Every structure is written in C-alpha cells, then in structure tokens.
Amino acid sequence: MIRYSFQGLPFLLKYADMVDSPDSEIREENLKVSKKSSFRTKIFPGPKNSPVIYLQHGMSNRGINDPRILTLAKHLKNTGATVYLPELPEVKGLEISEDTVPNIRALFQEIVKREAQAISFLSASFSAGMGMVALSGKEEQKNLKSALLVGTYSDFADTLPFILSNYEIDPYAVHVLLYNYISKLQPKLSKLEEFYFEAALDNGLKRTGEEEKSSKLLKKLNQKEKEFVHSVQSDPGFRMGLVGPILSVLPPNFILRNSPKNFLSDWEAPIALLHGSDDPVISPDESEQLFDSLGNGKEEYKVILKSKLITHGDHLPFYTQLGEIPKLAGLWGFFLKKSGL
C-alpha cells in the first residue's frame, strides 16, 4: 500500500490546506432512477472523459449540504474526477431503512448509464456498509472500478452492542438508534421518539445553549419517559439490556439483508477499508473482519488501514500524527489509482 503514497499525498495536502484546492463548479439536479423515484444530486464536473466517483453521504441531517462531504467532493474533483453526490432522504432523516440498499444500487446503475463507463464508490459508516451490500452483485461488480469504505461495519448485529457500549464517548449513534426503534420498544412512551430525534440533531449539528432542543423537550416528558432517558444516560447495564429488544423489533431478515459480511462471494473490485483505530461508533474490528473475508484472490486488490488520524466521521489535524501520513496517503493513493486518477 505504501507504494501508492506518492499518488495520495497531493490529495492529503489539499485536505491540510497546504495545496490550493479552489472552489468547484457545482451543478444540482434531480437524478431520476425510475418513473417514480429521483434524488437531489450535486455534480462536481471534472475534465472531459474524467474518472467518475459516486460519493454517498452518511447519516447527517445536513445531507449533501454537510460542509465535510462538500469539501471532500471538491478535493476529489480537483484531483481530476467527476463527482456525483446524491442525497438519500431516509439517511438524511436519520432513518435506518431497508430502502437504502436498493436506492444506492439504483443510483449507481443510473450514474454508470449516464457516464457510459465503470465508476468508483466512496462512503462512510452505515452508508458505506449498505453501499457494499448494494454493489456486491455481479452486474454492479463489472461496473465498479474501486471502492473506499470509511469506518464501516461487517455485521449489523455486532454493531448494535458496540454503539450502546460507547454512549459516554459518542452518544450520537445511540440517539439515532433509539429514534428509530423507541416507538416499538416503548410504544406507551410516546414523546421519546421526538426527544431522541432532536437529541441526535443536537449532537450532529452541535446545537448548544438556546439552540439545543432536547433539553427543552426533556422538561415536557412524563415521569416514566424521564426515567427511561435517565437510565440510558447513567446505566451501562440498562443500555446493554436494549440490544436484544432492538434486535427483536428489526424487520424480518434485516440483519441478513443489510450486513456486508453476507455479500462477499462475488466481490472482485479493488477495495480500500479505512477505519479510525479509536472509532467509538463502529469497531475497527469490523473492517478487519471484512478484509479477512474478502476472497477476490488478489491481495493487491484490497488494502486496509486503521489510523489514529480519524475518529468516526472526522479527521484530526495532520500535525498530531505525522507518522500516520505516509500510510494514509498510501491508502488514498490506492483508491485514486484504481479509480483511474
């Protein structure tokens, strides 16, 4: 992997603001994938006949307006790619949904059709894992040049307890989980769904002070609802006791159909797995499990890096971990090279 460092270093220097990465032209349109479905999409046009990257946002209420993903798209465009950045309404709405896998697959197929070439895929967290499921079919593999998955998961059933065990470090993912499933776990505690949605937004949007909404909603909860919130906040045993109930209310075969580990037999495309070594939301062990299970038979077609330079959704200042830069440059260089850049 380190041999690709020269290819990836200019990209990282853009991220570090050490190399100019000018603002890009951005087109926005509704990308139609069927007679009934279309998706708001930002397109960063690269040079004529440039490689194409499908960049999928993660579970952020900002969707494709999230400054982090817009910065990434700009840097990829300035590296020579055409970048498609579609918005998935259910992911933007913080919903863990069975719609995400078919939506990603449909968008991938439409971009391939429009561009008349094989393309690459880049995403993070749950969107990355669901993207891996979506693109694991033989037809998608033929049209996938390269994939980079950041902080992704292997088995949804393993991810749940890990998320709940790290509430004190990063409550965002717990709030998202409870927003999705509290109405089925505790249907009588009717105000908790809104509470956990706003609590997740407070975390994700970094709302504090007067802008914070969950603290105001907390005052309006009844006694049993307040007791539930307090138990989640203060009792690790109570939180871990929610794993079984959440698993029991998932749609039938949800874990089977949405866990990447079950969709590796036909995977042949080059793939890079990047995971924060101290990721509090999804364990880096999950990326390692995926890497070890990939059986494409060509070791040069898969790379993995656990890095101290990234957390779950953000990277740390590069000067804090100078020794990590060559390895990170190598991983990005691998992805860019395999993408045709």
- What angle in degrees, to the nearest 10, is found between the helix axes of 172-185 and 156-165? 110
Per-residue pLDDT, averaged over 204-221, amounts to 94
Residue 315 gets which letter from DSSP? B
* Residue 310, pLDDT score: 81
In three-state secondary structure terms, 318 is helix
**Contact by Cβ (8 Å): 140, 134:** yes
- Looking up tokens 């270093």 gives 9
Is residue 292 scored above 70 in pLDDT?
yes
d(CA 106, CA 88): 12
C-alpha torsion angle, residues 97, 98, 103, 109 (rounded to 10): 150
Instruction: Choose which CATH entry (3.30.450.20, 3.30.70.890, 3.40.50.1820, 2.60.40.10) describes domain 2-155+259-339.
Output: 3.40.50.1820
Nearest to 293 by CA among 154, 171, 187: 154
What the block records as the tokens of 195 is 């509470």
d(CA 3, CA 248): 46
d(CA 320, CA 268): 36
Q: Facing residues of 56 across strands? A: 123
Per-residue pLDDT, averaged over 40-50, amounts to 96
Nearest to 119 by CA among 90, 141, 144, 140: 144
pLDDT tens, residue by residue, 138-180: 999 999 999 999 999 999 999 999 999 999 999 999 999 999 9
Is residue 181 scored above 90 in pLDDT?
yes
In three-state secondary structure terms, 300 is helix
Mean pLDDT across the chain: 92
The model carries a pTM of 0.94
Is residue 200 scored above 60 in pLDDT?
yes
Residue 305 gets which letter from DSSP? E
Per-residue pLDDT, averaged over 283-290, amounts to 95
Taking the CA atoms of 67, 69, 72 and 76 in sequence, report the sign of the dihedral they define.
negative
Is residue 191 scored above 60 in pLDDT?
yes
**Contact by Cβ (8 Å): 249, 281:** no
Q: Please spell the DSSP secondary structure of 95-139, one letter per residue.
A: ---TTHHHHHHHHHHHHHHHHTS-EEEEEEHHHHHHHHHHT-SHH
Going by pLDDT thresholds of 50, 70 and 90, the confidence category of residue 319 is very low
Going by pLDDT thresholds of 50, 70 and 90, the confidence category of residue 312 is low
Domain boundaries, the chain: 2-155+259-339, 165-252
pLDDT tens, residue by residue, 86-132: 999 999 999 999 999 999 999 999 999 999 999 999 999 999 999 99
